[in-house]
Amino acid sequence: MRYVKTAMLSALLGATALTATPGFAKDLRIALQSDADVLDPDQSRTFVGRIVYASMCDKLVDITPELEIIPQLATAWETSADGTQITMQLREGVVFHDGTPFNAEAVAANIERSQTLDESRRKSELKSITSTEVTGEYEIVLNLAGPDATLIAQLADRAGMMVSPTAAAAAGADFGLNPVCSGAFKFEERVAQDKIVLTKFEDYWNADAIHFDSVTFLPIPDTTVRLANLQSGDIDMLERLAATDIAQAEGDDGLVVDSAVSFGYQGITFNINNGEKGDNPWGNDKRLRQALSYAIDRNALNQVVFEGAYAPGNQSFPPNSPWYNTSLPVEGQDLEKAKALLTEAGYPDGIDLEVQVPNSTEPLAVMQVVQAMAAQAGINIQLTSKEFATLLADQSAGDYTASQIGWSGRVDPDGNNHQFVTTGGGINDSHFSHPDMDEMMNKARVLPSSDDRKALYDDAMVMMLDELPRLFLYHVTWIWAYNDNLKGFVAYPDGMIRLENVTWEE
């Protein structure tokens, strides 16, 4: 029997699993495409790190598979008429893994940490909060510099993850070595490049929905090895099944394949002005970046590497997104235009480009195809393969010229753009800076009308595709594969693995 489920069907199965009684608790083993970076929500930035957090660190709010914002640690919230205050009611009876109570004081401490910790990457996400007021044990008021249409969506991600104020104050920047949150599972141990082990937190506020004694995350970069380990029973679930392995997984009666369309992107980030390495031809002349873009056939890339399972892309939103600028469709390869731009920039005989790439199967395959396409225009790409956390660290430090990297996407369009392209943005590893871009991105945060915001993002996308600090390539479909004994899993477009009401039934 073949098992192929859409997100909707998975949701229905998840609902029926609520009435099923699991046969026994189990130690769940999940394979990740790469190892997570530092396990501190304020400092981290990897996609796989967010998967770990989904089991370990509850947020103020969460999302549904349909991308609606719903309560998690905050049970209700209300925005003032002028948009400058948000009053939140908080869940009672919640404790952090170290026994510290969760309350309004804890929320205030978390926001202050996110805004003031030197190493924090959440500063731009919470920039609109000017102060907090604890108005009750389980009530807090967020005072804003002005209306912020993006803030609640930010609190559905790392900016809204609550860590123990006690543990955070004691550990400082080293918090990620022994993270303490309030989620369903607590941190047990970590062996770099080997495993991250979490154990069930018995005092979890929603403990009745958790049916595993522990969950172990295993970084396995090679997609073929990940699938082989799943079929042999060495793991129970894997994230990001390769599109080329779908048929094999579907043909195994003991496996389930599930998927959801992502609202993120994959592409190439250029070092524009980040340290000494930003002073290079590719960072200094946008015509070179434009030439590379014209040299790439995105439709062919999708067919060759992903057998058509993903969506070719040229913007930070997928083509099916309501935020996509339809006046800027994905263009085909134009080698003559690429060569003309190289000549105009002073490189008629071609130019070299070093691109760092994660050491996992799909990114390497993508860049090998891009490498071949670019060579047709006279662009000689050298690939440097790195473990993903190392790649991120080098990118943050400016120790790169170009980097194949993506973003898993956020519910609000601000999350796919602001922190990447504004001056001083938390993940602006390009150090791209332009006052017009800053103005558009900041204004889009405060406008209440979606139509008005869309107009700004359309204009901003025109500038992004001209300047190209990020060169977009494609949009993924998240594909999971797991043992048929695992029941109740629901596929979400953010790619996270939520274990509430998931059971193991022999």
Closest to 300 in 3D by CA, of 379, 377, 369: 369
Give the closest residue to 373 by CA, choosing from 304, 310, 313, 292: 292
Instruction: Kindly write down the DSSP assignment for every residue of 319-352, as one continuous string.
Output: TTSTTS-TTSPPP---HHHHHHHHHHTT-TT-EE
Report the distance separating Cα 457 and Cα 412, nearest Å. Answer: 12
Domain boundaries, the chain: 4-33+184-260+480-504, 54-167, 265-475
Q: Which two tokens stand for residue 492?
A: 């979400």
CA distance 57 to 391: 25
18: pLDDT strictly greater than 90: no
Sign of CA dihedral 43, 46, 47, 50: negative
* Cβ–Cβ < 8 Å for 183, 497: no
Q: How confident is the model at residue 448 (pLDDT cuts 50, 70, 90)?
A: confident
| Exposure on the CB side of residue 411, measured as CA atoms within 13 A | 21
pLDDT, mean of residues 39-58:
97
Which of the four pLDDT bands, split at 50, 70 and 90, describes residue 170?
very high
Say what the pLDDT of residue 294 is: 98
State the DSSP H helix or E strand holding residue 183, giving kind and residue range, or none if neither: none
* CATH dotted code for 54-167: 3.90.76.10
Task: Give 252: exposed, middle or buried? Use CB within 10 Å, 0-12, 13-18, 19+.
Answer: middle
Q: What is the pLDDT of residues 489-506, one digit of tens each?
A: 999 999 999 999 999 998
The pLDDT > 70 percentage for the chain reads 95
Q: Which residues contact 257 (CB under 8 A, 6 or more apart)?
A: 3, 4, 5, 241, 246, 249, 250, 479, 480, 481
pLDDT band for position 22 (50/70/90)?
very low
Q: What is the mean pLDDT of residues 8-25?
A: 39
Q: What is the pTM of this model?
A: 0.80
Residues 313-330: what's their mean pLDDT? Answer: 94
The predicted pLDDT at position 347 comes to 98
Does the pLDDT of residue 46 top 90, yes or no?
Answer: yes
| 19 pLDDT higher than 70 | no
What φ, ψ does residue 467 adopt, rounded to 5°? Answer: -80, -35
Question: Rounded CA gap, 123 and 391, in Å?
Answer: 22
Where on the phi/psi map is residue 233: left (φ > 0), alpha (ψ -120 to 50), or beta? Answer: left
Predicted local confidence at residue 261, as pLDDT? 84
Residue 24 pLDDT level (bands cut at 50, 70, 90): low
370, HSE (Cβ side, Cα atoms, 13 Å): 28
The per-residue pLDDT of the chain, averaged, comes to 93
Is-contact 389 46, C-beta < 8 A? Answer: yes
The torsion defined by the Cα of 291, 296, 299 and 301, in degrees rounded to 10, comes to -160
pLDDT tier at 25 (50, 70, 90 boundaries)? Answer: low
Sheet holding 74-79, edge to edge: 74-79, 85-90, 139-144, 129-136
Q: Please, which pLDDT band fits residue 67 given cuts at 50, 70 and 90?
A: confident
pLDDT tens digits, 172-219: 999 999 999 999 999 999 999 999 999 999 999 999 999 999 999 999
Domain 265-475 CATH class label: alpha beta
* pLDDT tens for each residue of 387-411: 999 999 999 999 999 999 999 898 8
How far is residue 287 from each of residues 49, 314, 341, 371, 402, measured CA to CA in Å? 35, 17, 6, 18, 15
Among 19-33, 166-180, 434-448, name the one with the lowest average pLDDT.
Answer: 19-33
Which residue has 């969950």 as its token pair? 215
CA distance 61 to 76: 9
Question: What pLDDT shows up at residue 100?
Answer: 98
pLDDT surpassing 60 at residue 5:
no
Using one digit for the tens of pLDDT, what is the confidence trace for 329-377? 999 999 999 999 999 999 999 999 999 999 999 999 999 999 999 999 9
In this predicted structure, the answer to whether residue 378 has a pLDDT above a threshold of 90 is yes
CATH 3.40.190.10 fits 4-33+184-260+480-504, yes or no: yes
